[in-house]
Amino acid sequence: MMEVERRHLADTLENHYRSQGWPVEKAQDGLLRASGPGGVTWLGAAVVSDDLASEDFAERLVDLASRRMKGGAELCPLDLLAAPECEGELRSLLDRVGLGGRPHVSLYSRAA
């Protein structure tokens, strides 16, 4: 059930990026990389309740938010699309690990 939700969320993110005319690559771990204007690489990830239960998820978020674009100068914008039931918990986790107020990290949720 969670994998179906994760796929749906990832497809929503991918469709959004493609609607902007950006090419999208999918990694084995589900991470999306979209090539936006000006050479900006956007990272997108779907988040479901199972992710929040994982012991290493906080570390994964910090790693994703620390990734830099080619050349290493700028941080990649990170879009997180959360399942509605875990948006609040994810927002709290982002705050706890110091990512809640970072301008390059965005949290979105799909209406239930």
The model's pLDDT over 29-79, given as tens digits with 9 standing for 90+, comes to: 899 999 999 889 999 999 999 999 999 999 999 999 999 998 878 999 999
Domain that holds residue 92: 2-109
pLDDT at 72: 74
Q: Residue 108: which H helix or E strand, with range?
A: strand 105-109
Q: Could you tell me which of 25, 100, 110, 30 has the C-alpha nearest to residue 58?
A: 100
* pTM for the predicted model, two decimal places: 0.93
pLDDT of 111: 58
Q: Is the pLDDT of residue 112 over 60?
A: no
Count Cβ atoms below 10 Å from residue 101 Cβ, excluding itself: 8
Give the number of domains in the chain.
Answer: 1
Please count the other Cβ atoms lying within 10 Å of the Cβ belonging to residue 99.
Answer: 20
